Amino acid sequence: MPLRDGRLSHDIDPSDRAPQDACGVFGVWVPAEQAARAEVSKLTYYGLYALQHRGQESAGIAVSDGSRIVVFKDMGLVAQVFDESVLNTLRGHIAVGHCRYSTTGSPTWENAQPTFRSTDDGGLALVHNGNLINTPELAARLEPGVLTATSDTEVLTALLATHGEGGPMAAAREVLPATRGAYSLVFMDEGTLYAARDPEGIRPLVLGALEDRGWVVASETAGLDIVGARFVREIEPGELVAIDGDGVRSERFAEARPKGCLFEYVYLARPDTTIAGRSVQATRVEVGRRLAREHPVEADMVIPTPESGTPAAIGYAEASGIPYGQGLVKNSYVGRTFIQPSQTIRQLGIRLKLNPLRETIEGKRLVVVDDSIVRGNTQRAIVSMLRDAGAAEVHVRISSPPVSWPCFYGIDFATRAELIAGNLSVEEIRDSIGADSLGYISLDELISATQIAKDNLCRACFDGVYPIPVEQGARGKHLLEVGR
């Protein structure tokens, strides 16, 4: 997908995307006297680098030196937006950073984050992971003409900057209880770093400690690891945190009603991230074991769809006794090209990303493990490619239940009409992708593998049960752009 500056996003074929999360957020506070040594802009850069999988459309960093906030953002990957010279101009002791995939508002520079607003006594910079479901209601509180962008984050930033007395903490106490949907927020004024998480805790957010009294907030523990921060705890659902020279202060703005996103375990989170005290890698391997028990098959080799299916394929091979092998090679650089792919190149499809190891798979009965099927295009192409390379049989196993319902809480799933499982039975999907057999793990087994209580998980994309009801008028990526 071409950007305004001629660069490309991660999408080689925008019509065949994997599931996209809303964003990754990162924030850091260090004592002012350590600003020169800590280089918070570079810490934030590396934090975003670790969270790049959560959003690849745009990236930005805001830094405060105690007297003013400077924001730099642009379209593209973190490494495309920032270089050494830019980071060296972003000096201070507090920073927030963001890598975005748009779920409300178009992928434009205006909607890139951090968002910034002037306040009566300075400024406010904010980053957001998730998706609000009462954005029109919140926007109606603002004066006409106040909004300069079309994202739900812009609305929230404007409200926090113009409501309440006593600074951002007081404004958050007023605004957040009326805000519905998924939001893991990191924001700052000139002297304080803040973090907040919606009462359902749909999107993850964690707190870490740096040496010498510094603090970090990130979407995933992998964002803490890369900057050498020690994991302290998760930001709790319904919690508001402030970090400054007095340390970490916490209060509740709402009662916790935990509904963590189940799809984080399936696809969104990095495998080296920890959620609720358990590594995502361990959960995915266990899912593979359970998948093998639910859907056994006689085969010669288990191969993953790199890298999304690798942990579950390891578990499947372990439980089934079928040897694990590498049958597909991933091109790690395909999403980093600066050259616009021609239609001829697009027609090569999946071969831009994956290529089969013919000598490994020829004549073999294969179990191909992947994490999910959204539209079916990728799996259809993989099955065809493996057969062309000489596979005798191709049995597809999926480490999630059928994705049958759209997400309104921060994953840009298609409408139900565009989801293959929203329209076809499992057998019809098997026929559509050309596999010899197809098996999905059951919802109960997936939930059991996470070791989280069913009632504490959002499962809406699998069972259509939405923990926060979404009115029809509040749905849609471009709902703030109508009439503009």
Integer Cα distance of 133 and 144 in angstroms: 21
Query: Contact 341/368 with Cβ under 8 angstroms?
Result: no
Integer Cα distance of 113 and 153 in angstroms: 8
Residue among 144, 141, 125, 292 nearest 194 (CA): 125
247 CB-contact burial (10 Å; exposed 0-12 / middle 13-18 / buried 19+): exposed
Active-site entry in 23, 261, 458, 461: 23
Residue 23 a catalytic site member: yes
User: Which residues, including other chains, have CB under 8 Å from residue 35's CB and lie 6 or more apart?
Assistant: 65, 91, 92, 93
Longest dimension (CA), the chain: 71
Residue among 253, 285, 283, 280 nearest 268 (CA): 280
Residue 325: CB atoms within 10 A of its CB come to 17
3-state DSSP assignment of residue 309: coil
What single letter denotes the amino acid at residue 173?
R
3-state DSSP assignment of residue 38: helix
User: Which residues, including other chains, have CB under 8 Å from residue 162's CB and lie 6 or more apart?
Assistant: 117, 119, 142, 146, 171
347 CB-contact burial (10 Å; exposed 0-12 / middle 13-18 / buried 19+): exposed
Residues noted as catalytic: 23
